[in-house]
Amino acid sequence: MSKIDEKDNLNNKAQELDEEVDRIKVSLTSTKSTVEAIDSKMENSLKKLQESNKELKNKLEHLEKYSRDVNIRLIGVEEEDGEDCMAIFSDHFTLLSFKEAHGELENAHRTGRRQDGKARHIIAKLHSRPFKRNLL
């Protein structure tokens, strides 16, 4: 092979490499556009999910507050082993002249951990808000 043939062969290979580089550049540009479009969609989706999550947290907080609205706390009742918190509340209703109030009490329990010499509060869930307003 002569020097001219080698030079032509190298020029052909260089031209083929240039064409291959151009094809790779086009492919890379296309891929970059696709990635940018996907990234934009993902950012929009993320924003929507964050807004939805914030809205759901607010709704949950509202519902929790609403469900606690019928709760009432009794403070200062000495604690005994095996006590019945429902009966304690019923006794207090009777002391307050709410004789027909026993059906208004849904549940009652002590809150927190036991501490020596300190009585825990009793939380009671009532069935209706009107009864709670009358009670208070």
pLDDT tens, position by position, 5-47: 888 888 889 899 999 999 999 999 999 999 999 999 999 999 9
pLDDT tens, position by position, 123-135: 999 988 888 887 7
pTM above 0.95, yes or no: no
DSSP string, 42-107: HHHHHHHHHHHHHHHHHHHHHHHHHHHTTEEEE-SPPP-TT--HHHHHHHHHHHTT-GGGGGGEEE
